[in-house]
Amino acid sequence: MSASTPNANHLQQQINVLRTQYGDNSEGLRDAVAQLLQREGLGQTAVGGSSYGATPSTPAAAPLQAGASTPLPSSRSGRIIKPSKPFTTPAATPRPPPYPVPQQRPSSSLNPNRAPAPPPRLPLSTSAAPVPPLTAITDARYQAQYTTYPARMRLGTSSLMQPNALAASGKGDNTPAGGGKRARASVNYAELEGLGGEAPQEEPKGGLVPKRGLVPGTPGGGGGGGEVKQAWGDGKSYLGVLPPGNMVIVQQAIKTKHQVFSEELLEAQAERPDNFVPIQIDLDVDTFKIRDAFVWNANEKLISPAEFARVFCDDLDLPQAFASEIAGQIETQVKEQSSVAEVAIRTAEEIAEDVEKDLRVVLNLDVQIGTLHLTDRIEWDLSSSLTPELFASVLVRDLSLSSSAAPLIAHALHEELMRVKKNCLEMGLLYADEQTLKRRGARPLEGAWREWNETLGFGPRVEVLSLDEMDRVEAERERAQRRAKRDRLTGSRTGGRRR
């Protein structure tokens, strides 16, 4: 480039920058300088004493482009540098609409037509030593994905689920921990006193509903008296003690499918008055018996008994075939007791003026809380605004019982209140005049202190039961429940007529 070329100094500075970047006497430097000269429209020349290609006057080194009057630039090695064209995106070729992907059936590695095996269930510990409570199942990040609740319930750690005495094989290894008759002897409730003359229960029709009391391998179960298949645990009851760690099975938790309701439906349900009735679930599943007690709102319109039974079976890892029987028991008990529960004790005027009639009754409380037996005698006012749940929470704190005892005590109080309320309706004491209440009602309250000869009959009493005593208490409770069920059926048939 001559000294008369405009912007020579600027061009020389750019070439120096390229030399610093690529280094002297390199192929990259030559190509970069050639592209720089092409952008400046100077062709091929020498800059700073260095020659990059031939001069423009050399016709052999600068062939003409077809249809152009300027020669194509070339590098020092003689390679012709073609001018670059701007990149343009090629037009997309039209594609047919995608076909729907067929749903693939789950398969296993052994048989492609069979569903894969369920996730493995592993023991919480490899030894038979008891595992302390609140032991971590897995990493804290995945703690909510696994559970041991079904396994702990099947081991008999709670009164919700206990090994069935009728399903025991009689072996020594199937006896409960600490001895007792719970797994050694068969208890025939039909031979107990006061149970004669009751009509046998009809078995439900249909193959989906399991038969109660008929377990394979037991008398009357159609198994020929063989051994019972122990799918869970060892047939022992670990009520009140820690179970062995190698029997606490860790399994994948089932995601509960809750129903979602709109704000309008929730507000409408909140406006309805509560009408609580006590519910008792009595179910025999394989080698276990399930006994659950809770309170159900008869005016509930959102959650159905079938939905509750489905979640109940998912929590205990039971087949959904038992959900229909659980829902049927809830619906039957709600229908039997709703007519009595709907009767208001106080009128609207008495509620507005906060007037409580003297309707004191005596309630007998009898609750089994694990290995503890709680008995109490309480004087209760039917017209009082005190709820059984509030009374149970205070009693649990006073006696230092576990938090799981409060729902059991509240359920027992609801049962007693339902029984007494039904008797008052039959006697006509709820809406009677003062003369009738004085003659047939409660004794007038003379003071806050009870008579000395009556103090021994009132007050809580807590006893620790052995397994033999638990069997005896359970047999008495079964007999009382059957008698109460017979009374409910008799009362529903007579229509609650007043005597």
| CA 69 to chain centroid | 84
Range of the domain at 418: 348-464
Q: What is the pLDDT of residue 90?
A: 58
- Same domain for 319 and 367: no
pLDDT > 50? residue 235:
yes
Average pLDDT for residues 114-139, to the nearest whole number?
75
pLDDT > 80? residue 59:
no
Q: Alpha-carbon distance 367 to 405, whole Å?
A: 9
- Same domain for 234 and 167: yes
Percentage of the chain exceeding pLDDT 90: 20
Predicted TM-score (pTM) above 0.75: no
Of 285, 304, 339, the last residue of a domain is 339
Number of structural domains in the chain: 3
Q: Per-residue pLDDT tens for 430-446? A: 776 677 766 676 666 66
Q: Per-residue pLDDT tens for 352-372? A: 777 777 788 889 999 988 889
Q: Per-residue pLDDT tens for 69-81? A: 455 555 555 566 6
Q: Per-residue pLDDT tens for 401-415? A: 998 899 999 999 999
Q: Tokens 């000395």 correspond to what residue?
A: 452
pLDDT > 70? residue 327:
yes
- Same domain for 429 and 300: no
Percentage of the chain exceeding pLDDT 70: 63
Of 276, 309, 339, the last residue of a domain is 339
Say if CB 165 and CB 182 are below 8 A apart.
yes
- Same domain for 393 and 301: no
Average pLDDT for residues 24-49, to the nearest whole number?
68
Greatest mean pLDDT range, 101-110, 371-380, 466-475: 371-380
pLDDT > 80? residue 323:
yes
Q: 295 lies in a domain?
A: yes
pLDDT > 60? residue 106:
no
- Same domain for 276 and 132: yes
- Same domain for 312 and 222: yes
Average pLDDT for residues 259-263, to the nearest whole number?
90
Q: What is the pLDDT of residue 197?
A: 41
- Same domain for 253 and 164: yes
Q: 68 lies in a domain?
A: no
State residue 100 phi and psi, 5-degree precision: -65, 130
pLDDT > 80? residue 346:
no
Greatest mean pLDDT range, 93-107, 244-258, 268-282: 268-282
Average pLDDT for residues 236-249, to the nearest whole number?
86
Residue-averaged pLDDT of the chain: 72
Q: Alpha-carbon distance 10 to 70, whole Å?
A: 24
Q: 405 lies in a domain?
A: yes
Average pLDDT for residues 183-206, to the nearest whole number?
40
pLDDT > 90? residue 246:
no
Query: The sheet that has 360-369: what strands, in order across it?
Result: 360-369, 372-381, 461-464
- Same domain for 433 and 370: yes
Greatest mean pLDDT range, 102-106, 266-270, 348-352: 266-270
Q: 372 lies in a domain?
A: yes
- Same domain for 382 and 318: no
pLDDT band at 46 (very low <50, low <70, confident <90, very high): very low
Provide the Cα torsion 157, 161, 165, 166; round to 10°. -160
Q: Alpha-carbon distance 476 to 189, whole Å?
A: 10
- Same domain for 375 and 309: no
Average pLDDT for residues 141-166, to the nearest whole number?
84
Of 304, 319, 339, the last residue of a domain is 339
Q: Tokens 């405009």 correspond to what residue?
A: 6
pLDDT > 90? residue 325:
yes
In angstroms, what CA-CA distances link 96 with 93, 100, 103? Answer: 10, 12, 21
pLDDT band at 165 (very low <50, low <70, confident <90, very high): low
Strand partners, 47: 50
Choice among 153-167, 215-229, 322-336, 453-467 with the minimum mean pLDDT: 215-229
- Same domain for 352 and 329: no
Choice among 13-22, 176-185, 229-238 with the minimum mean pLDDT: 176-185
Average pLDDT for residues 449-453, to the nearest whole number?
75
- Same domain for 289 and 216: yes
Q: What is the pLDDT of residue 215?
A: 37
